[in-house]
Amino acid sequence: MSKTARRAPSSAAARLSRACSHRWSVPGLCLLAGLVFLGIGLAQHDLGLGIAGLIVMLVYGLVLMAFRTRSETIGLLGSGDHVDERRASIQVKASAMTGQVLSAVLAGGALAAIALDSDYTTILCGLCLLGGATYVVSTAVYARRG
């Protein structure tokens, strides 16, 4: 028996194992986030917030589970598994766009907080600092890696 023939079952088993773990990772995180919402609601004596947060996160996880095979968009949101280069490229572009929008909103919010002498100035400026530092460090790391 050739080496290729012997490796095929183990690589298929590894792919199946990864697929199963990816299948449940996002719904599992939805459940965890929902339970965190519930815990916060209970701690703040606001049961409505806790239950609403739990329901929203459970519905989101269930929608991802139910429709991931029918919609490529939902499949991308629900698995994080980059089956091919096209899907990986979509995820990279979506992440970059999200980062750009959040950076612009944070910078605008920080400027508005400074102008209004808001209590949120320190938090918003700290988040801008974190975002900027992350961008500089990641640019340096990826520039060295090629």
Predicted TM-score (pTM) of this structure = 0.67
Cα 130 from Cα 107, distance rounded (Å): 12
Q: How far is C-alpha 125 from the geometric centre of its chain's CA atoms?
A: 23
Reply yes or no on whether the pLDDT at 7 is more than 50: no
pLDDT of residue 11: 62
Q: Are 30 and 60 in contact (CB under 8 A)?
A: yes
Identify the CA nearest to 61 among candidates 74, 42, 48, 73. Answer: 74
- pLDDT tens per residue, range 52-77: 999 999 999 999 888 888 888 888 88
Grade residue 126 by pLDDT with cuts at 50, 70 and 90.
very high
Q: d(Cα 7, Cα 142) in Å, to the nearest integer? A: 33
Q: Provide the residue type at 15 as one letter.
A: R
